[in-house]
Amino acid sequence: MSDLIVEATGLEKTYPVRRGEPVHAVRGVDLDVRAGEVFGLLGPNGAGKTTTVRMLATLTAPTAGSARVAGHDLLREPRRVRERIGYVSQAGGVDETVSGRENVVLAARLHGLSAREAARRAAELLEVFALTDVADRPARTLSGGQRRRFALAIGLAHRPELIFLDEPTTGLDPRNRAAFWQEIRGLRDGGTAVLLTTHYLDEADALADRLAIVDHGRVVAAGTPGELKRRVSGDVITLRVPAADAEPASRLLAAQPYVREVGGDGGGLRAYVGDGDSALPALLRAIEEGGLRVEAISLRRATLDDVFLRQTGRSLRDAA
Amino acid sequence: MIKDVRLLFAHEVRGSLRNPFWLLFGVVQPVLWLVLFAPLLDGLMPGGSALRDFTPGALVLIALSSGLSVGYGMLARLRAGVLERLAAGPVSRAALVLAPALRDMVVLVGQAALLLGLAALMGMRANPLGVALTLVLVAALGLLSATLSYALALTARDENGLAQLNATLYVPMLLLTGIILPMALAPGWLQAIAAANPLYHAVEAGRALFAGDFRDGSIPLALALTTGLALLTLRWAITSVRRLAA
Ligand SMILES: Nc1ncnc2c1ncn2[C@@H]1O[C@H](COP(=O)(O)OP(=O)(O)OP(=O)(O)O)[C@@H](O)[C@H]1O
Ligand SMILES: [Mg+2]
């Protein structure tokens, strides 16, 4: 058996639209998620993250492509797939008519646990997520953060091998977000594979063992956060120059041997360099010799945003 | 599948018991009809049978008004992502509508019993076996109206759309049952349309049953028609859930 828990090739999804062009939400996505890792799908709004996850969770049929999820063919054996996965949607899926605990117990029982096992499992999960105190309140009265944690507990009720989390931390305050990250790492350490979507750079960077950056329904880059950032090259020097000097400055930067790549415009020229600490003084000297004016200059390590920027020409911050 | 229905049915009942207020609310409207309208009929049709003839109509009214509103609950569940979350698990698709529909049937029969108690207090006397059989018919009507509401809700997927569909359905259903005035007063073409309304036959059958007139042809007709249609709407509702998670 392979150690891949998700193996998707050429996934596509086209939504027909009444009176209009069909929407190509996903245009050929290949994904490999290993058993027991946290895999991130990072991309701006409308990139196709939710659609990809919904296809992998058997909720919508792909227009083209195929996938094996948790050891079973997505199209031929959807039921087997459903038995092995957990799915927490952007909406959460907590039933507000009953208590949080009843939600978790029902989810466990529908997956075949006995009443006693389900009760024990629910108590265990509620303890882990610090929900015991609010477990028997009507779910209607829970705060957003509590509801998110209940959603996660519901998704984990049957100890799935793989859990899909669609934007799990949207709407959480920083403290809850940090706690949530800790819980996700705990899941991975317990052997559960996690496929999560996010449009937060820091989240993908901090949490994902590996990730795929998606844009307009395509994977534009994939690898570990470290690999991806190295591929952009180590550091980024950003310069602000008067609009008139943007052209010559850009040419000058590109001519330096230690500059691997140049991007951006006068408002923010970016020079990608291997070792920023030694490149910066050299660059300053070259600028002076070239007689160009620089209004501001800064040096920073490459982020995933630089990866996105290089692949798409846009910043994830602007795109999202 | 039976196990899923059992689990989900218990879940639905727990949810309803947490908000029992809404269950009572469903009978308010028919009670008002019974208290405020039936006495008017008394003046129109002297002889004391007005209340007995009107009560089956009031029962059908609850089936219609409380049944058609259950779709909103399904839409709330759809919005909250509950249906989708359940559908990502191995649960039977049919159970996702059958369980709440069974709960709705039970609620409806309970509401009907409450209304019958009130009618009895108001002096209605009816054939006991006939009343029991009418409750069976009410249960079938409950399945019909609840599954119809679920199918409409899951097809429209929009609260406003559902409200308009309900309003459009409600008026002809109400007028063409002979609940308010006997259809015998209607011109031939109107009677012909009423004959196509399953609720019309249900009211006729209820009246015959209450009067102890067990040989009336409307009884088997109403039972067969209601059950048959309920199975069709149930199928439609199940198909709509399947489409939700293709
Ligand atoms: N049922 C649908 N019918 C038509 N278009 C759809 C449907 N669902 C999604 N889309 C479109 O497909 C594209 C991808 O949507 P998707 O929800 O997968 O994006 P996303 O990456 O999850 O975005 P977000 O970060 O906003 O959640 C969008 O353009 C969206 O409008
Ligand atoms: Mg999304």
What is the per-residue pLDDT for A180? 87
Interface of A with B in 198-257 (CB under 8 A): none
The minimal CB distance from A85 to the residues B81, B86, B88 is found for B88
Q: Of the candidates B236, B194, B79, B59, which has an alpha carbon nearest to the alpha carbon of residue B139? A: B59
What is the per-residue pLDDT for A123? 97
**CATH number, domain A4-224:** 3.40.50.300
In this structure, the strands spanning A235-240 and A85-88 are unpaired
Q: Which of A69, A72, A97 to mutate to test the interface with B (most CBs of B within 10 A)?
A: A97
Residue to substitute in A15, A19, A220 for testing ligand 1 pocket (most ligand atoms within 8 angstroms of CB): A15
**CATH number, domain A234-301:** 3.30.70.920
Torsion of CA A66, A78, B154, B91, to 10 degrees: -160
Task: Say if CB A69 and CB A9 are below 8 A apart.
Answer: no
What is the C-alpha separation between B20 and B169, in angstroms, rounded? 27
What is the C-alpha separation between B200 and A37, in angstroms, rounded? 62
- Would you call A123 an interface residue with chain B, using a CB distance cutoff of 8 Å? no
What is the per-residue pLDDT for B65? 85
H-assigned helices in chain B: 2-18, 20-32, 38-44, 50-68, 70-79, 82-87, 93-121, 128-156, 159-175, 188-195, 198-210, 218-244
% pLDDT > 70, chain A: 98
What ligand has the least distance to the C-alpha of A319?
1
Q: Which residue does chain B place closest to A139, by CA atoms?
A: B15
What digits encode the pLDDT tens for the residues B196-209? 899 999 999 999 99
Which residues approach ligand 1 with their CB closer than 6 A? Answer: A 15, 17, 23, 25, 43, 45-51, 199
What is the per-residue pLDDT for A291? 87
- Would you call B195 an interface residue with chain A, using a CB distance cutoff of 8 Å? no
With CB atoms and an 8 Å threshold, state whether A110 touches B90.
Answer: yes
C-alpha B132 – ligand 2 centre gap (Å): 52
How much is the CA Rg of chain B, to the nearest whole Å? Answer: 18
Interface of B with A in 78-97 (CB under 8 A): 79-82, 84-91
Burial class (CB in 10 A: 0-12, 13-18, 19+), B235: middle
Task: Report which DSSP code applies to A1.
Answer: -
Task: Say if CB A88 and CB A98 are below 8 A apart.
Answer: no
Q: For chain A, give every domain's residue range.
A: 4-224, 234-301
pLDDT band at residue B48 under the 50/70/90 scheme = low
Size of interface A-B (CB pairs under 8 A): 81
Residue B237: pLDDT over 70: yes
Q: For chain B, give every domain's residue range.
A: 2-244
What is the C-alpha separation between B88 and B81, in angstroms, rounded? 11
What is the C-alpha separation between B171 and B176, in angstroms, rounded? 8
Q: From first to last of the 320 residues of chain A, give the pLDDT tens digit.
A: 468 999 999 999 999 988 889 999 999 999 999 999 999 999 999 999 999 999 999 999 999 999 999 999 999 999 999 999 999 999 999 999 999 999 999 999 999 999 999 999 999 999 988 999 999 999 999 998 899 999 999 999 999 999 999 999 887 888 888 888 998 999 999 999 999 999 888 899 999 999 999 999 999 999 999 888 877 767 889 999 888 888 888 899 989 998 888 888 767 888 888 888 888 999 989 988 988 888 889 898 888 888 888 778 777 776 65
With CB atoms and an 8 Å threshold, state whether A98 touches B84.
Answer: no
What is the per-residue pLDDT for A145? 87
C-alpha B181 – ligand 2 centre gap (Å): 54
What digits encode the pLDDT tens for the residues A172-221? 888 888 888 998 999 999 999 999 999 888 899 999 999 999 999 999 99
State the amino acid at position A81 in one-letter form: V
- End-to-end CA gap in chain A: 39
**Which ligand 1 atom lies nearest to the CA of residue A199?**
25
A113 Rama sector, left if φ>0, alpha if ψ -120 to 50, beta otherwise: beta
Q: Could you count the other beta carbons within 10 Å of the beta carbon of residue A296?
A: 9
What ligand has the least distance to the C-alpha of A22?
1
Alpha-carbon distances of A314 from A43, A136, A215, A317, rounded to whole Å: 12, 47, 10, 8
What digits encode the pLDDT tens for the residues B111-124? 999 999 999 998 88
What is the C-alpha separation between B42 and A309, in angstroms, rounded? 80
Which whole number is the average pLDDT over B99-103? 96
Task: Say if CB A65 and CB A33 are below 8 A apart.
Answer: no
Chain B partners within 8 Å of A167 (Cβ): none
At A160, give phi and psi (nearest 5°).
Answer: -70, 155
What is the C-alpha separation between B126 and A159, in angstroms, rounded? 57
What digits encode the pLDDT tens for the residues B129-151? 999 999 999 999 999 999 999 99
- Would you call B243 an interface residue with chain A, using a CB distance cutoff of 8 Å? no
**Which ligand 1 atom lies nearest to the CA of residue A13?**
12
Closest-CA residue, ligand 1 atom 2, reads: A15
Interface of A with B in 60-79 (CB under 8 A): 60-61, 79
